Amino acid sequence: MEGSLALQTVSELIRELKLPGQAQTPIEAATRLQGELGIDSLHKLILLTRLQEQSNFEFAQLNAGAGGFEFHTVGDLVDLLVAHG
């Protein structure tokens, strides 16, 4: 999946969470999920599940590396979609 389409997809999924104050926050690659958007671990899991449904990756692939996969920004999720979408 191309970067701009991946960013749009991630942004739409984040907006679907309808978290308080989120509508006023611009969603860009550098936007921090927890600090700026208020996305906690449960919402991260929901986002990953929805991304998995729309792409070609599985959770098991994310932990294949030594440290596993961590994501803190919208850009981290975009990179995931670009790599596996």
The CATH number for 68's domain is 1.10.1200.10
Report whether pLDDT(12) > 80.
yes
Report whether pLDDT(6) > 90.
yes
Tokens 């700026």 belong to 36
Handedness of CA 72, 53, 21, 25 (dihedral sign): positive
Give the pLDDT score at 21: 78
Residue 85 near residue 53 (C-beta atoms within 8 A): no
Report whether pLDDT(78) > 80.
yes
Average pLDDT over residues 6-18: 93
Give the pLDDT score at 68: 63
Average pLDDT over residues 7-20: 92
Q: How many domains does the chain have?
A: 1
Residue 44 near residue 33 (C-beta atoms within 8 A): yes
Can you give the residue range of the structural domain that contains 79? 3-84
Residue 4: exposed, middle, or buried by beta-carbon count in 10 A (0-12, 13-18, 19+)?
exposed
Q: Dihedral angle at the C-alpha atoms of 11, 60, 62, 73, nearest 10 degrees?
A: 30
Q: pLDDT digits over 19-69, tens only? A: 887 888 899 999 999 999 999 999 998 998 898 888 877 766 666 555 567
